[in-house]
Amino acid sequence: FARVGAGGLPPFEVDEARRRLDRLGVLDDARAAVDAYVASGLAALGVLPPGPAADALRALAASLAHRTA
């Protein structure tokens, strides 16, 4: 994993790296952290007046939280 910070993994190694991270429980921890940050961000957006800008920010938070790669 040292190479991740030095330009990334070659594409053929990504699947194995993901399997290793999953076995370690890191992916579940990361998903939980993302969910907590998104919930916090959405709560902070609660002070905005209703409208297209607030809706767009909420949609952006939701889309970032559910992206896979």
21-32 residue pLDDT tens: 899 989 899 889
The pTM (predicted TM-score) of the whole model is 0.66
Question: What is the spatial distance between Cα 45 and Cα 55, in angstroms, rounded to a whole number?
Answer: 9
Checking if the pLDDT of 5 tops 80, the result is no
What is the tens place of the pLDDT at every residue in 42-65? 999 999 999 999 999 999 998 888
Give the contacts of 38 (CB within 8 A, at least 6 positions apart): 61, 62, 64, 65
Checking if the pLDDT of 2 tops 60, the result is no
Give the model's pLDDT for residue 67: 76
Give the model's pLDDT for residue 3: 59
Cα-based angle 18, 21, 22 (whole degrees, multiple of 5): 85
Question: What is the spatial distance between Cα 22 and Cα 16, in angstroms, rounded to a whole number?
Answer: 10
